[in-house]
Amino acid sequence: MTTIEKLPYLSAEFLDGLAISTSDVVDEIERQIIGQRRGEVWCAPKAVVLPGDDRYIMATLGVATDPRVLATKSLVVNPRNAERGLATLNSLVTLLDAETGLPLAVVDGNWVTSKRTAGLSAVAARRLARVDSACAAFIGCGVQARAHLEVLADLFPLQEIRAFGRGKGNRDALCRIAETRGLTAVPSDTAKAAVESADIVVTTVTLVPEPVPFLDARWLKAGVFATMTDLALPWLPETMAVFDRIVIDDLVQEATMSRPMIKPELVAGDLTGLVGGDVSGRQSASERTAFAFRGIAVGDLAIAGLAFVRAKAIGALDD
């Protein structure tokens, strides 16, 4: 039996060593989403606290039958962390046995957040992006952009990326990663230049209390797929009707939020409906499609649970 004195901590370095692939991530998220439909997985809407000082504080809670875990994630986003030499986002996931409530492990939350966010985008992209997508544009070039580059390059025949972000260091680092994968990398001076020729657009702009939208959906070409990990806050709301099909992560969760990401009349459905077939995916090569999300507990649950199972399988959690 695990006691608090012996509670394993799964660090990012350890988790990287588990060699969990893009397919593993996407398949597990989809499996747990289907589990929700079957009544085998239960998740609460995310809880959010906004102290009014630029911090974004939130928590997620999810319970699975297989593996039998309860996962809670606590997260703080603070732009002032940069002055401290810290990551803007920091988080932690705790895992309990869903039957007994006994502690199982603590998991690096930043690693889980990175994997699950890109994984959720990939689940949507499987159904909403063109299979021949060759150019991806990144608005925001930090950790989430790098995670998305990894999964998109695994799933699509990418040849080129375009990168636009506030920090030249992050932008150049993203371009170097793309080049190591044999892709052409183009640093863009403007957001419009980055997105206007892209087949896939990824926006991962840091959350701030009073965001100023600057992305115009009318810049996008026919056939594009956009994934918006940032609550769609960088996008000009009056241009969102350009999209032929917009899917969000969770209709039930969204109904509890004070401010919708997307006007409800523009939303075709959510990720559960998309995976389950209730919501149609891409219908033509020319459709402009989008996925907007806040983040859902099932993603954190799926990735943390998968990591725990893999760690246990190799004996890393043995006393």
d(C-alpha 297, C-alpha 45), whole Å: 7
Residue 43 corresponds to which tokens in the numbers above?
């998740």
d(C-alpha 106, C-alpha 5), whole Å: 12
DSSP line for 265-307: GGEEEEHHHHHHTSS----STT--EEEE----HHHHHHHHHHH
Q: Residue 3: its pLDDT value, please?
A: 54
Please name the residues in contact with 160: beta carbons below 8 A apart, sequence gap of 6 or more: 134, 135, 136, 183, 184, 185, 186
Q: Residue 295: its pLDDT value, please?
A: 87
Q: 285-315: per-residue pLDDT in tens?
A: 999 999 999 889 999 999 999 999 999 999 9
Q: Residue 82: its pLDDT value, please?
A: 87
| Beta strands 225-228 and 289-292, pairing class | parallel
Q: Long-range CB contacts (< 8 A, 24+ apart) of 27-31?
A: 28/119, 28/302, 28/303, 28/305, 28/306, 29/116, 29/119, 29/120, 29/123, 29/298, 29/299, 29/302, 29/303, 30/123, 30/275, 31/302
- Is the predicted pLDDT of residue 78 greater than 90, yes or no? yes
Q: Residue 166: its pLDDT value, please?
A: 83
**Higher pLDDT, residue 187 or 319:** 187
| Helix%, strand%, coil% for the chain, nearest 5 | 40, 25, 35
Average pLDDT, the chain: 95
Q: Residue 210: its pLDDT value, please?
A: 75
Average pLDDT over residues 37-57: 93
Residue 94 corresponds to which tokens in the numbers above?
């705790």
Q: 194-216: per-residue pLDDT in tens?
A: 999 999 999 999 877 678 999 99
Q: 160-181: per-residue pLDDT in tens?
A: 999 999 889 999 999 999 999 9
User: Side chain identity at 117, as an amino acid letter?
Assistant: T
Q: 251-284: per-residue pLDDT in tens?
A: 999 998 888 999 999 999 999 999 999 999 999 9
Instruction: Indicate yes or no: pTM above 0.85.
Output: yes
pLDDT band at 135 (very low <50, low <70, confident <90, very high): very high
Q: Residue 254: its pLDDT value, please?
A: 94
Q: Residue 2: its pLDDT value, please?
A: 55
Place of tokens 């959350």: 207
Average pLDDT over residues 48-66: 94
- Is the predicted pLDDT of residue 247 greater than 80, yes or no? yes
Q: Residue 258: its pLDDT value, please?
A: 84
Quote the percentage of the chain above a pLDDT of 70.
Answer: 98
- 246 contacts 260 by C-beta, under 8 angstroms: no
Domains in the chain: ranges and CATH: 4-112+298-313 (3.30.1780.10), 128-295 (3.40.50.720)
Element housing 42 (H / E) = strand 41-49
